[in-house]
Structure 1
Amino acid sequence: MIKSTRKILLPCFCFLLWFTLPATLLAQAAKTSFKFDFGSGKAADGYQKIGPDVQFDDNKGYGFDFDSKVTAVVRNPRKLLTGDYVTSDKPFYFSVNVPEGNYKVTLLLGDIKGNSNTTVRAESRRLMLEKVKTSKGNIKRVSFIVNIRKPDIGTGGKVSLKPREFGKYDWDDKLSLEFNDTLPCIDALEIEKVDDQVTVYLAGNSTVVDQDDEPWCSWGQMITRFFKPGVAIADHAESGLTLGSFLNSHRLDKILSIIKPGDYLFIEFGHNDQKEKGPEDGAYKSYTDRLKLFISKIRDKNAIPVIVTSTSRRAFNDSSKVVNTLGDYPDAARKVAKAQNVPLIDLNVMTAKLYEALGNEGSKKAFVWYPANSFPNQPKDLADNTHFNSYGAYEIAKCVIEGIKGNHLGIEKYIIDAPPYDPSHPDPADTFNLPASPQNSTIKPDGN
C-alpha cells in the first residue's frame, strides 16, 4: 500500500516542484532553437511548416504577429524550402517566444522565378538587413545576431522600466522580426541561441535608444546593420536618462549581471545630465564621478568600457558653424577617457562636422523636421534639433563605426559593408532610401 501511495504522490510532487521552480530555471527549459519553412507546400525535413494563416499566440509561441497579413506562393512543389515562400506588399512581422540571450537568425530569401528586395528589422526597429536583393533563381542565405533581454536581473530585482517601455518589443518575451521593402520573399527561418558572441552593451539616452516609432531613430538601432555574426548589440539605452537615472533604474545592475569578459560597454550621456542642477551636479562633479564608477564596475567584470561623447545638437551661429550647447560635458568625457585610459569615440566633434557639411538648412534632413501631414495623425509641423530620423541615425552609426576602427577595438574584425567614412563628406540625404516601419508617432522622446 505504501508503495502504491508513493506512485500516486510522486507525479503530484513533481508537478508541484515544477510549478514552484524559480523563473530563471523555467526559462532555461524553454526552447531556444527553431526551424520554420514558410509557404503552403510540403515542409522540409526538420522544419515546422508556417502557412499564411499561422498567427502568433502564446500557446504556440510563434507565428505572424501584430495583425500581419501575408500571401503564400508556391513556385515548385517538388523543391523543398525554396519552392515556396510568403510575401506581402506591406510590412509584416513574425515572432517567436524565446528566453533571454543572443540568437543567430538565418534567413533564406528570394523567389526562384523572380526578383525580391528585403529589409529586415528586429525588436524595436533595429536594422539587421538592408535591401538584400535577389534575382530570378538566386536564393540568398543570410545570418545576423539579435540580442533578447528581459527586465529580470539574475542577481535579484528588476529593471525599473518607464511607463513608455511597457509593451516595447525590446522588453517583451518574443524575438520579433519585421520584413519590409519591395516584394520580400521569405522562404525559411532558423533561430538558434548562441553563447559565443562578443556582446556590445549600449548605455545612453534618446540619441542611442531603439526608438519604437517613425520618424524617430538613433544610431544604436542602426549600428546593428554593420556587424556580421560574432558581435551582438545589446541596446540598454532609454530616452531621458542621465548617468544617475541609468544607475537608479538598475540598468547598469542588469548589464553587470550578464556581461562577460571581453564584452564591451559603450557609454554616451550628457544631454540630460546637463539639466541636473543640484549642488553636487555638473560636468566635473557627479558626471565625472559616475563615468569613473561605470568604468570601474565594467573593468571589474574584465569587460571593456568605451566612452562616447554626446551627439551635438543642431545649433548654428551666423558663420554656419555648429555651436556647442552641451557646456563642459563633452570635455569632461574626454578628460575621463584620457585619465582612465579608456577608448574614446568623439561623436560630439564628428556630428558637428556632419551638420556643417550638410549646412544649416540641409542638416534638417538628418533630424525630425517634417511639415504637417507628413505622417498619419500629424496635424502640426515637427521641428526637433536633438533627435534624428533614419538618415541621420544611419550617418551617425557610420561615425561610431569609424570610432571603433580608429581605436582598433577587437570587434573591428566583425564590421561589414563599411568603407572609410568622413562625416565632412556624408552620404547625400536625397539618395538615402530605407522603407519606413508601420508605426509612427508625433510624440517627442523624453529628454528633448
Structure 2
Amino acid sequence: MFFTSVRLWIVPLVLVTSADATTQALRFDFGPNSAALGWTAVSQYTLYNSTRGYGLVSANGVTASTSLGTNATSNTAHDALAGNRPFSFAVDLPEGNYDVTLQVGDPAAPADTTVKAETRRLMVESLPTATGEVQTRTFTVNIRTPALPDGRSVSLKPRERGVAHWDQRLTLEFNGAHPAVASIEIQRNDDALTIYLAGDSTVTDQPGEPWAAWGQMLTRFFPAGVAIANHAESGLSLASFRNSNRLEKILSTLKPGDYVFIQFGHNDMKEKGEGVGPFTTYAADLRSYVDAIRAKGGKPVLVTSMYRRRFDQGRLVDTLGDYPVAVRQVSKEKEVPLIDLHEMSRRLITALGPEQSKLAFVHFPAGAYPGQDKDVKDDTHFSAYGAYSLARCIVEGIRAQVPSLALRLAPDIPGYNPDLPSLPASFALPPSPPASEVRIPDGDGR
C-alpha cells in the first residue's frame, strides 16, 4: 500500500463478533513493510489458522514485492504480495453481506489479477496493472452458514462438506497470469440488495474445475452494494430443495425488496409417482415458492431450465418436455417476471453447433485437469465458457424482464445476443487450483 503516516504500528487483528462486525472494518496490508495504524500486516508467512482467524490459505509461490522510489522511505513504499500461481486469503466472519475493497498491483512488475470469492464466484475479471500501478475495486460478497435461527440447519449433501460457501469465513482467490494484492478492506453491509439463487447443478457454485454454473459467474455483472447469495445445489428439485431446509434458509435472511431467482427442472423431471408432473406437483411447488417469498416482501423471478446438449442429425433436441412450459404458465398466472433461459440457451447452443458447443459443456480429454483420469463427456453441465455465456443470457433477461433490477447492473456490460455468441477461443478465465477431491455434479445427463 501507499502510506503517508510517519509513525507506523503493527496492529494485531481482533476477531469481531456478530454485533461489532456491523460497524468495524477490517483492514489488511499485504507485503513486507510495516502496517499503518488500524491495519493488520499480512506477509507471505501469515498463514491462516483458526486461532489467528485470518491469513493465506494457499501460499505456494507467493512472494513479497516492494519498490522504493528515489525519495521514498520504507514508511511510504508501495508493497504487495504477488504470485506466479493462484493464492487465497481467508478471514473468519459472521454470516452476512460484506463490501470488499481491494488494491491490486505489483510495485516491481506488471500484474494481471482475477479475483474469485468463496467457491469460485467471479468478482473481478482480468485486471491488468503496469509496474507500480495500483487499481482499486470494490464488490459485495455474501457468506453464510447452514444454521437456522431455531437451532436446526440446512441438510448438506456429502459433496458440500468443507466447501468455502458454507463455512464461517470469507475466502478470496487471487488468480491470473501474475496476481498481486496490496490491501484488502472488509466492511459489513446490512443494507446491500441481495439476489438469492434457488436451483440445481446448473446454477450452483461448482466447487471444482472443469465444472461451472451460471450462478457463480453472475457475480461479475453486479457492482458493490448488490450481493449474490447462491443457495443452488447439485441434484436438487423444488421438493428436495425445500425438504433440505434451503428455502427456509433463504427466507430466514430475506429482506423486503430482495430478489429470489428460481430455476429447477432437470431433476424434477426425473421424479416419479402418482400425480407427479410438470402441471401438477411441479407447478404447485413453484406457486408455493412464489407465495412464500412474497409473504416476506421478496421479489421472485422464475427462470426456465436451459437445454442439454443433444443433437440429432445436426438439430438440437429438447429433453425437458413440458417443464419449461409449466414455468411460463405459472409466471403468467402469478404475474412473476420470467427469464426464459430455455429459449436463450436453445439459440446459444444452436449458434455454436454440434462441435463447437462441446466447448460450452464439460468435454475434456483424460488428464486435462488434476484427478481426471478418464475422458469427460458431460452434456448437462457447463464449462467456464458455457457458464459465463449463460450468465450473459441471464443479464439480458434481467434487462428485458426485471427493469427495476436492471438499474443495479454494473455499467460496463455490453449487450449480448445468444444468436451471435462470442466464440470459445476468445474466452479466457484462469482455472482455480484443484480441490482436494474431484466433485462431480449430482444428476445424470438425461
Matched residue type, 1:380: K
**Deviation for aligned residue 1:293:** 0.2
8 Å CA contact 1:398, 1:418 repeated in 2: no
**Deviation for aligned residue 1:28:** 3.3
Residue number in structure 2 paired with 1:61: 53
1:130-163 deviation line (CA, Å, top 9, x unaligned): 0011123431111011100111112441111111
Tell me the distance in 2 between the aligned counterparts of 1:348 and 1:127. 23
Tell me the distance in 2 between the aligned counterparts of 1:244 and 1:442. 27
| Partner SS, residue 398 of structure 2 | helix
**Deviation for aligned residue 1:173:** 1.1
Matched residue type, 1:369: H
8 Å CA contact 2:309, 2:349 repeated in 1: yes
Pair 1:290 & 2:281 matched: no
Matched residue type, 1:367: F
TM score, norm. by length of structure 1: 0.91
2:38 to 40, 46, 49: 46
Pair 1:330 & 2:324 matched: yes
Residue number in structure 1 paired with 2:386: 392
**Deviation for aligned residue 1:26:** 6.0
Tell me the distance in 1 between the aligned counterparts of 2:290 and 2:351. 34
8 Å CA contact 2:66, 2:108 repeated in 1: no
**Runs of at least 5 residues in structure 1 that lack an aligned partner in the other structure:** 1-24
TM score, norm. by length of structure 2: 0.92
Matched residue type, 1:234: A
8 Å CA contact 2:21, 2:188 repeated in 1: no
Matched residue type, 2:424: A
Tell me the distance in 1 between the aligned counterparts of 2:349 and 2:154. 35
Matched residue type, 1:314: R
Deviates more, 1:126-135 or 1:433-442: 433-442
Matched residue type, 2:286: L
| Partner SS, residue 184 of structure 2 | strand
Residue number in structure 1 paired with 2:25: 33
**Deviation for aligned residue 1:415:** 1.5
1:210/1:50 CA distance change after superposition, 3 Å? same
Residue number in structure 2 paired with 1:10: none
Tell me the distance in 1 between the aligned counterparts of 2:380 and 2:77. 45
**Deviation for aligned residue 1:190:** 0.5
Matched residue type, 1:445: P
| Partner SS, residue 181 of structure 1 | strand
**Deviation for aligned residue 1:242:** 0.2
1:256-275 deviation line (CA, Å, top 9, x unaligned): 11100000000000000000
Residue number in structure 1 paired with 2:90: 95
Residue number in structure 2 paired with 1:7: none
**Deviation for aligned residue 1:414:** 2.4
1:306/1:85 CA distance change after superposition, 3 Å? same
**Deviation for aligned residue 1:113:** 4.5
2:414 to 405, 410, 419: 419
Deviates more, 1:50-59 or 1:206-215: 50-59
Residue number in structure 2 paired with 1:142: 137
Tell me the distance in 1 between the aligned counterparts of 2:107 and 2:251. 47
1:235 to 227, 230, 238: 230
Deviates more, 1:187-196 or 1:408-417: 408-417
Matched residue type, 1:111: D
Residue number in structure 2 paired with 1:13: none
Tell me the distance in 2 between the aligned counterparts of 1:122 and 1:208. 16
1:255/1:363 CA distance change after superposition, 3 Å? same
- What aligned pairs does 1:18-417 form with structure 2 within 5 A after superposition? 27-28=18-19, 33-66=25-58, 68-76=60-68, 78=73, 83-318=78-313, 320-416=314-410, 417=412
Matched residue type, 1:49: A
Residues paired across the two proteins, number = 423
1:164-210 deviation line (CA, Å, top 9, x unaligned): 11101100111001101122121111011101111000000000000
Tell me the distance in 1 between the aligned counterparts of 2:340 and 2:253. 27
8 Å CA contact 2:337, 2:402 repeated in 1: no
Kindly name which structure, 1 or 2, has the bigger radius of gyration based on alpha carbons.
1
1:262-298 deviation line (CA, Å, top 9, x unaligned): 0000000000000001113110111000000000000
Matched residue type, 1:305: P
